[in-house]
Amino acid sequence: MTASIAFYTLTIYGGFFLLSVLPCLFKPWEMGVKMYMPLKLPTDQLVVKQLTYMQAFLAVGMIGLVGQIILAAFFLLTKTFVIAFMAMFVIGIIYGVVELKGEAGVDPKAMGAQLTMQAIVVVALAVSLLVDEYDELPEVSIKPDVSSMVTFVGGFFILSNVAGIVAPSKLLAAYLPDETKRPQDKYGSAQLGLFIRFACWTNTTQGLFLILVATSGIDYYPFLLLQICMSPLFIGFFIAFIKAEIGFDDKAMIFWMIFVSFTTGYFGLACQQYYA
């Protein structure tokens, strides 16, 4: 098998990643917040709700990322994708180490296990680049060709989220405009900032992968089907953020509902024509 080290690394890691993320979706407080940040848990019920919702929302984003990783192992196994994957995961590891030293009360064992696994994956992919053979992927003629729209969506994800990786406090202020609804202590602010940072990292990574998919010349429709399947979950969370009344800006949630609904409908119509 071409690039067998990379293939098995991505698929096996994708499986483990999925198993670690799913509990955070169904039991976000017990299996997410409480497990990864047990040292300084908040007592303010508003902050508890905010962290719980953000943990579940982050889990949905990571499930989408896992799907992209596994699909890429089968359809986009190129040196370009592997290098992009490594670069984004190195960034994730660096900021994971930063959070270990921050005010969020992160458990070194739980976070350390995740960071160690990611570091092993990066090393394995580096070895793959040195010893594996990567075939050129055959280009295909796709109709309807919506690669420009896929590129736009990927670029928009990057532009909307990359700042949140570096400065999550800025996005925290933007998405929670009412200061009275923000955490009033440095620990709660750091914890919510952690979730914003890694949600932004996840969305930025997915955006980059979408651009690679759209510009690689491969059949990108399996990736569009993934986007369509994940979109209802994202829309559901945007609605939940509004209904929960926990401080998140309704206007921002409505914008994302419209954006995701439009792109999902667009890709859905394209898939209908493609698979007809």
For residue range 87-108, what is the model confidence (pLDDT) as tens digits? 999 999 999 999 998 899 999 9
Q: Which of 195, 199, 232, 205 has its CA nearest to residue 65?
A: 205
User: What's the pLDDT at 127?
Assistant: 96
- At residue 65 the predicted structure's pLDDT band, cuts being 50, 70 and 90, is very high
User: What's the pLDDT at 178?
Assistant: 92
* 210-235: average pLDDT: 95
User: What's the pLDDT at 138?
Assistant: 82
User: What's the pLDDT at 256?
Assistant: 96
If you compute the radius of gyration of the chain from its CA atoms, what whole number of angstroms results? 19
User: What's the pLDDT at 135?
Assistant: 84
In the chain, % of residues over pLDDT 70: 100
Instruction: Note the pTM of the prediction, 2 decimals.
Output: 0.94
Q: Which domain holds residue 113?
A: 4-275
Least confident among 46-60, 135-149, 241-255: 135-149
User: What's the pLDDT at 268?
Assistant: 96
With contact defined as beta carbons under 8 Å apart, do 36 and 111 qualify? yes
User: What's the pLDDT at 136?
Assistant: 84
* 206-233: average pLDDT: 96
> How many angstroms separate the Cα of 207 from the Cα of each of 97, 193, 245, 264?
23, 21, 29, 15
**Domain count for the chain:** 1
- At residue 2 the predicted structure's pLDDT band, cuts being 50, 70 and 90, is confident
With contact defined as beta carbons under 8 Å apart, do 96 and 115 qualify? yes
Q: Average per-residue pLDDT in the chain? A: 94
pLDDT digit string, tens, across residues 118-176: 999 999 999 999 999 998 888 888 899 999 999 999 999 999 999 999 999 999 889 99
- The token duo for 173 is 């202020």
List Cβ neighbours of 4 (8 Å cut-off, separation of 6 or more): 132
User: What's the pLDDT at 39?
Assistant: 87
Q: Whole-angstrom Cα distance, residue 149 to residue 164?
A: 24
Residue 1 has pLDDT above 60, yes or no: no
Location of structure tokens 């799907």: 67
- At residue 46 the predicted structure's pLDDT band, cuts being 50, 70 and 90, is very high
pLDDT digit string, tens, across residues 162-214: 999 999 999 988 999 999 999 988 999 999 999 999 999 999 999 999 999 99
With contact defined as beta carbons under 8 Å apart, do 247 and 240 qualify? no
With contact defined as beta carbons under 8 Å apart, do 269 and 159 qualify? no
Location of structure tokens 């405009």: 177
- At residue 33 the predicted structure's pLDDT band, cuts being 50, 70 and 90, is very high
With contact defined as beta carbons under 8 Å apart, do 235 and 262 qualify? no
* 256-264: average pLDDT: 97
User: What's the pLDDT at 140?
Assistant: 86
169-188 in b/e burial notation, b at 16+ Cβ within 10 A?
eebbeebbeeeebbbeeebb
Q: Classify burial at 63, counting beta carbons within 10 Å of its beta carbon; exposed 0-12, middle 13-18, buried 19 or more.
A: buried
User: What's the pLDDT at 92?
Assistant: 96
User: What's the pLDDT at 276?
Assistant: 81
With contact defined as beta carbons under 8 Å apart, do 164 and 176 qualify? no
